[in-house]
A = this chain, B = another copy of it.
Amino acid sequence: MSKFEVPYKIYLDENEIPQSWYNVRADMKNKPAPLIHPGTLQPLKFEDMQPIFCDELIRQELDDVNPYIPIPQEVQDFYKMYRPSPLTHAVFLEKALDTPAHIFYKFEGNNTSGSHKLNSAIAQAYYAKKQGLKGVTTETGAGQWGTALSMACSYFGLDCKVFMVKVSYEQKPFRREVMRTYGASVTPSPSMDTNIGRKINEEFPGTTGSLGCAISEAVEAATSTPGYRYELGSVLNQVLLHQSIIGLETKAACDKYGIKPDIIIGCAGGGSNLGGLISPFMGEKLRGEADYQIIAVEPASCPSLTRGKFAYDFCDTGKVCPMAKMYTLGHDFIPSANHAGGLRYHGMSPVLSQLYHDGYMEARAVEQTSVFEAAVQFARVEGILPAPESSHAIRAAIDEALKCKETGEEKTIILGLTGTGYFDLKAYEQYNNGTMSDYIPTDEDLAKGFATIPDINL
């Protein structure tokens, strides 16, 4: 493939935007393990989840049979606001690296939420509205998911109550302000508004919060308020389903222009972007129709895939949520304070965990100064200031492209560029000032988290 046979940026036509999501579970021989009830250890049934999630979203959560789920027309209409997202040929980066590799990135940051999170937020808000609910609750860490859900709820006229990890609430007042502009209420977590929040504040005075704790608060707020449900932006099967739009568009663009990826790279926190990006490619791999090298990139400071245990664990700190079988660092694990940006969840999508366990993808952990080095290099040549999360994928893509330079291989690499770094400039400032540090937890550090993983063998 010549470097210039395809347009620099591929925008699908509106009529080429996929009209169904793809459910990779339908093609998995080993299905992801079901969510279980922490008391009975029995798989959760539809009725068990009704107090927490919208009915239709529960059906999607439980569906591991149907490969395609039609995207409701109202959601398709909203997608038109910011989709299709471009698949961009990184010619400037290739030139800077002097590599024979071909690098493409699927950029999901061209919307006000600044990331791919909107793809699932609008679907979840739609089903909540359709069920006649009054509002939804959620948690947010770095702020991308909270912003996305605020936008989606504003569009459908739903209340949106966001519990924002306290440290982010304080360090990212502008993230908070975007959510408020979209009419959401934003509460720093742990708060004094919920039982679990009060309990955590009492046990750990001065705590700056964690994602696991904010999830507990949001779930409690949803289940204790009539007409509300809880919505989550990652980890869940339904989220990967909605995010498959990323991969489906990428695949359509590749097929249209004859691009054949060898390597597909995505960052992985809870798995929402990676799971969406790879889904149709993974489907081909699972069906034996094609092969791809698929790489999950995670922070060395929160290495759930590369150093975690594949086990049933709680999804939240307060243990109010169901348990999931996943790669986990233990539900009490909180990444080191010097960790910037998202990708700080202790667990991982059960779908991705199973696929990784079964050898369909690999994982690697990278340190944050090398991630920001890649981010700045990318920003300067490709003109997009990437989110710290996305920059993990950039790091790995650059590393692969440099390997190609050594071997002379013309591999085609696709990376998921999840979003922009406009709200992460504190971290860029640290990097620019040379004050950013790395942290790799020791085995002893991890052992403390592992000790909290319950001993369940199903």
Taking Cβ atoms with an 8 Å cutoff, the residues of A that contact B are 7-9, 11, 13-14, 78, 80-82, 92, 110-112, 114, 151, 154-155, 173-174, 177-178, 180-183, 376, 379-385, 420, 422-423, 425-426, 428-429, 432
Cβ distance A92 to chain B, nearest Cβ, rounded Å: 7
Partner of A181 from the list B82, B155, B376 (CB cut-off 8 Å) is B376
Partner of A80 from the list B9, B13, B112, B182 (CB cut-off 8 Å) is B9
Residues of chain B contacted by A423 (CB below 8 angstroms): 422
Closest to A381 in B: B155
Q: Taking chain A's interface residues, is the majority helix, strand, or loop, or is none over half, making it mixed?
A: helix
Q: Does B380 lie within 8 Å of A155, measured CB to CB?
A: yes
Residues of chain B contacted by A420 (CB below 8 angstroms): 112
Q: Does A432 lie within 8 Å of B177, measured CB to CB?
A: yes
Cβ distance A244 to chain B, nearest Cβ, rounded Å: 21
> How distant is the Cα of A110 from the Cα of B11 in the complex, in angstroms?
14
Residues of chain B contacted by A154 (CB below 8 angstroms): 380
Closest to A379 in B: B181
Residues of chain B contacted by A376 (CB below 8 angstroms): 181
Q: Does B14 lie within 8 Å of A429, measured CB to CB?
A: no
Residues of chain B contacted by A81 (CB below 8 angstroms): 8, 92, 382-383
Q: Does A422 lie within 8 Å of B174, measured CB to CB?
A: yes
Cβ distance A182 to chain B, nearest Cβ, rounded Å: 6
Closest to A432 in B: B180
Residues of chain B contacted by A174 (CB below 8 angstroms): 174, 422, 425-426
Closest 8 A/B residue pairs (Cβ): A174-B425, A177-B425, A422-B422, A112-B385, A81-B383, A8-B80, A177-B429, A11-B11
Closest to A179 in B: B432
Closest to A386 in B: B112
Residues of chain B contacted by A381 (CB below 8 angstroms): 155
Given A11-B11, A80-B9, A380-B155, CB of A178 within 8 Å of CB of B425: yes
Residues of chain B contacted by A384 (CB below 8 angstroms): 111-112
Closest to A183 in B: B380
> How distant is the Cα of A70 from the Cα of B348 in the complex, in angstroms?
53
> How distant is the Cα of A250 from the Cα of B92 in the complex, in angstroms?
26
